[in-house]
Amino acid sequence: MNYSVKNDQPNSHPFTCTIIAILTGSKLSPSAQALNKASHQQLQKLIKTSGFRGELGQTLMLYHVPNLKTERILLVGCGDPKKLTESKFRAMNLKMACALRDSNTKDALSYLTEVDVNKRDTTWKVQQSIECIEECLYRFDELKSEKNSKKSPLTKIAFYNDENISNAKINKAISQTKAICSGMQLTKDLGNLPGNICTPTYLAKQAKNIAKHYPAIKTTILEEAQMKKLGMGALLSVAQGSDQPAKLICMQYHGAKATQKPVALVGKGVTFDSGGISLKPGEAMDEMKYDMCGAGTVFGTMKAIAELKLPINVVGVIAASENLPGGSATKPGDIVKTMSGQTIEILNTDAEGRLVLSDAITYSKKFKPTMIIDIATLTGAMVIALGHEACGVFTNHDPLAKNLVNAGQQSWDRSWQMPMWEDYQPLLDSNFADMANIGGRWGGSITAACFLSRFAGEIPWAHLDIAGVAWKSGKEKGATGRPVPLLTQFLIDQCKK
């Protein structure tokens, strides 16, 4: 898709379609008023005749409005302008994108950037519009015998800039957003693949492919024999019940001087999670192919920063495994020794994500990172706490959490800091090992984070529990690509410091 920014006034450009905002009660936005004047009031008459009220998300395509040069006018309702939040702005842009897609429009100029959204500038509005367009146009049909024959002809969209912001600055933001969307698409594609294709071995191959396309990335793969020598008993215990061998994937992005210490991203890559011996209920178990979305996020973020050529060093460590109830599977009550030397009593084999992450976090410390951020679809308790709107942030370093939350606010890929007080740690006590892998029913996402904190040690560390945001269920089932925007924005911000 070709995106650009224009300063063209309405009815003075060569685009096939002009997109304008209509407010509640059919009130016209400034660009709509200009078009109405050019049409000798015919536009407003057509709007009134159609019954279009400007309600949020309402769309209507008008063709060949008298006296206008543009072939089509797409009306987009934005509701009450005093109540137009960031989320509502995204909602109206999603509707706009779908209307363009379904109308077979080839190119368009959007004036939706002129509406006020909580003091957000044009740059932000353009970035969010692009994300919504890419989300609307995304399709995953590579495994269908018949591909989607109704592929949208949409190839070019421009955005109106009427603020004191240079077009060059907005174009830079467009390039940044395209890279983020490219990373999100990779994350979605990996998440949407079924478990019989997206195995730990498949993820390892994809990591090598990324390194081939981006010279700044170097990929290495640790096999089970190497992990055993390193003492990764926790990670290997999860893979015991599966015929698929576990993989520890390491992707190193070199964008700065070799002397600069990296940021470590650690992703949970459980490519299918049955729960192991502590078997999950059968309902919706197919969605456990999404239990590798933490790993997918690392893949997508690494791709995004490589396309942006960010001046920063980042290491991505992915613990990839299946969790199945085979004859050699780990049993509740088993005790394993981690790479850190600490021992774990496994009381529930369905709390496997923290096991693979414990060894991956320890391994990431060999790169002497300035900070460690792990990303995982870790707990159902996180979904109960925050729903599907925000991921949870847990940390041993409040400034790091603040920076992550701020990056989420800027990218509108939001997160929320959760408590991780010392009071929760005793819930992980074990009579037989250094710790148990679960802490009881209450505060499940918090005790999971407390468990991981024991492997981060004194290094600034944050845990993103993305169980509620990584995928959608129901009719719109599919991976979301989150939190690639949050992490990419965070790394962009780090480059400015």
Beta-bridged to residue 4, according to DSSP, are 158
Q: Is 354 a catalytic residue?
A: yes
Give 211-250 pLDDT, tens digit per residue. 999 999 999 999 999 999 999 999 999 999 999 999 999 9
**What pLDDT is stored for residue 338 in this prediction?**
98
Q: Write a three-state SS string for 91-126.
A: HHHHHHHHHHHHCCCCEEEECHHHCCCCCCCHHHHH
Residue-range domain boundaries for the chain: 2-161, 181-495
**What pLDDT is stored for residue 146 in this prediction?**
81
**What pLDDT is stored for residue 308 in this prediction?**
98
Please give the full DSSP string across 260-311, using - where no structure is assigned: SPPEEEEEEEEEEE--TTSPPPSTTGGGGGGGGHHHHHHHHHHHHHHHHT-S
Orientation angle between helical segments 122-137 and 86-102, nearest 10 degrees: 50
At the second CATH level, the architecture of 181-495 is 3-Layer(aba) Sandwich (3.40)
Alpha-carbon span 488 to 347, nearest angstrom: 36
Tell me the backbone φ, ψ of residue 3, rounded to 5 degrees: -115, 145
Give 93-150 pLDDT, tens digit per residue. 999 999 999 999 999 999 999 999 998 999 999 999 999 999 999 999 989 988 765 6
**What pLDDT is stored for residue 497 in this prediction?**
81
Which tokens go with 77? 């309702």
Alpha-carbon span 460 to 434, nearest angstrom: 23
Measured over the CA atoms of residue 202, residue 208, residue 209 and residue 214, the dihedral's sign is: positive
Q: Left if phi > 0, otherwise alpha if psi is -120 to 50, otherwise beta: which for 6?
A: beta
pLDDT tier at 29 (50, 70, 90 boundaries)? Answer: very high
% the chain with pLDDT above 70: 99
Average pLDDT over every residue of 166-179: 97
Alpha-carbon span 17 to 35, nearest angstrom: 13
Q: Is 53 a catalytic residue?
A: no
The CATH superfamily assigned to 2-161 is Leucine Aminopeptidase, subunit E, domain 1 (3.40.220.10)
Alpha-carbon span 13 to 26, nearest angstrom: 25
- For the cut 70, the answer to whether the pLDDT of residue 353 exceeds it is yes
pLDDT tier at 11 (50, 70, 90 boundaries)? Answer: confident
Tell me the backbone φ, ψ of residue 187, rounded to 5 degrees: -60, -40
Give the containing element (helix H, strand E) for 189.
Answer: helix 167-192
Average pLDDT over every residue of 66-88: 95
Give 320-350 pLDDT, tens digit per residue. 999 999 999 999 999 999 999 999 999 999 9
Q: Among residues 156, 280, 331, 472, which one is catalytic?
A: 280
Q: Among residues 88, 354, 365, 482, which one is catalytic?
A: 354
Residue 434 C-beta-side C-alpha neighbours within 13 Å: 11
Give 184-213 pLDDT, tens digit per residue. 999 999 999 999 999 999 999 999 999 999
